Chain A
Amino acid sequence: MAVKTRRLRDIPLAFTMLGPSLLVLLTFVLYPLGKAVWLGQQTCNVQGKNCKSVGWGQYTTVVKSDQFQHALWVTVKFALITVPIGLALGVGLAVLADKQLRGMRFFRTIFSSTIATSVAVASLMWLFLLQPSVGVLANLGWLRDIFPVIKEPGLLKDPGTALWSVGISSIWANLGFTFILVTAGLQSVPKEMHESAYVDGAGGWMRFTNITLPLISPTLLFTTVVLTSRAFQAYGEMDLLTNGGPVPQDSTTTVTYLIYGSSSIIKNNDGLQAAVAVLLFLILLALSALQFRGFGKRVHYGS
Chain B
Amino acid sequence: MQYDSSVASIRLVGVSKHFGDVKAVDNVSLDIADRDFMILLGPSGCGKSTLLRTIAGLEDPTAGEVWIGDCMVNDVEPKDRDVSMVFQSYALYPHKSVQANIEFPLKVRGVNKAERAEAAKQAAEVLGLTPYLERRPGALSGGQRQRVALARAIVRQPAVFCMDEPLSNLDAKLRAETRAELVALHDRLNATFVYVTHDQVEAMTMGNRIAVMRDGIIEQVGSPKEVYDKPASVFVAQFIGTPPMNIFPAGSVEAADHVVGARPEHTHLTSSGVAATVALVEHLGHEIQVVCTIDAEHRAIVRIPAGTEVPGNGSSVFLTADENHRHRFNVKTGLRIS
Contacts and interface: CB of A to CB of B under 8 A. Distances in A.
A63 interface: no
Contacts of B56: 199
Interface in A167-193: 190, 192-193
Interface residues of B, number: 24
Contacts of A202: 79, 104, 108
Interface stretch (B85-93, B191-199, B295-303): B85-93
Interface string A189-225: 0101101111111110010001100110000000000
Interface string B126-166: 00000000001110000000000000100010000010000
Given A303-B137, A303-B138, A201 B91 contact: no
A198 B87 contact: no
Given A201-B108, A201-B109, A210-B104, A196 B91 contact: yes
Report, nearest first, the 9 A-B pairs whose CB atoms are least far apart.
A201-B79, A303-B138, A200-B105, A303-B94, A196-B91, A192-B91, A300-B95, A214-B95, A202-B108
B57 A199 contact: yes
Nearest to A200: B105
A121 to B, nearest CB: 40
Nearest to B86: A196
B91 A193 contact: yes
A190 B85 contact: no
A210 B108 CA distance: 10
Given A192-B87, A197-B108, A303 B136 contact: yes
A112 to B, nearest CB: 27
A197 B104 contact: yes
Interface string A22-37: 0000000000000000
B69 interface: no
Given A200-B79, A200-B108, A201-B105, A195 B94 contact: no
24 contacts: A190-B89, A192-B87, A193-B93, A195-B58, A195-B85, A196-B85, A196-B87, A196-B152, A197-B108, A198-B58, A198-B78, A199-B56, A199-B57, A199-B58, A199-B79, A200-B105, A201-B109, A206-B108, A210-B104, A214-B93, A215-B94, A302-B94, A303-B136, A303-B138
Majority SS at the chain A contact face: helix
Given A199-B78, A200-B79, 19 more contacts: A190-B89, A192-B87, A192-B91, A198-B79, A199-B58, A199-B83, A200-B104, A200-B156, A201-B79, A202-B104, A206-B108, A210-B93, A214-B93, A214-B95, A215-B95, A300-B94, A302-B94, A303-B94, A303-B137
Nearest to A203: B108
Contacts of A203: 108
A290 to B, nearest CB: 23
Contacts of B137: 303
B314 to A, nearest CB: 50
Interface in B88-121: 89, 91, 93-95, 104-105, 108-109
Contacts of A215: 94-95
Interface string A121-164: 00000000000000000000000000000000000000000000
Interface of A: 190, 192-193, 195-203, 206, 210-211, 214-215, 300, 302-303
Contacts of A206: 108
Contacts of B87: 192, 195-196
B95 A200 contact: no
A214 B84 CA distance: 23
A125 to B, nearest CB: 40
Contacts of A303: 94, 136-138
Contacts of B156: 200
A197 B91 CA distance: 9
A201 B78 CA distance: 7
Interface string B57-90: 1100000000000000000001100011101010
Contacts of B91: 190, 192-193, 195-196
A129 B48 CA distance: 56
Contacts of B136: 303
A82 B108 CA distance: 34
Contacts of B78: 198-199, 201
B51 to A, nearest CB: 15
A87 B19 CA distance: 36
Nearest to B109: A201
Nearest to A298: B95
Nearest to B164: A192
Nearest to A207: B108
A111 B169 CA distance: 39
A303 to B, nearest CB: 4
Contacts of B83: 199
A112 B218 CA distance: 46
Nearest to A194: B91
A221 to B, nearest CB: 14
Nearest to A206: B108
Q: Name, among A199, A215, A302, the residue most crowded by chain B CB atoms within 10 Å (CB to CB).
A: A199
Contacts of B94: 215, 300, 302-303
Contacts of B57: 199
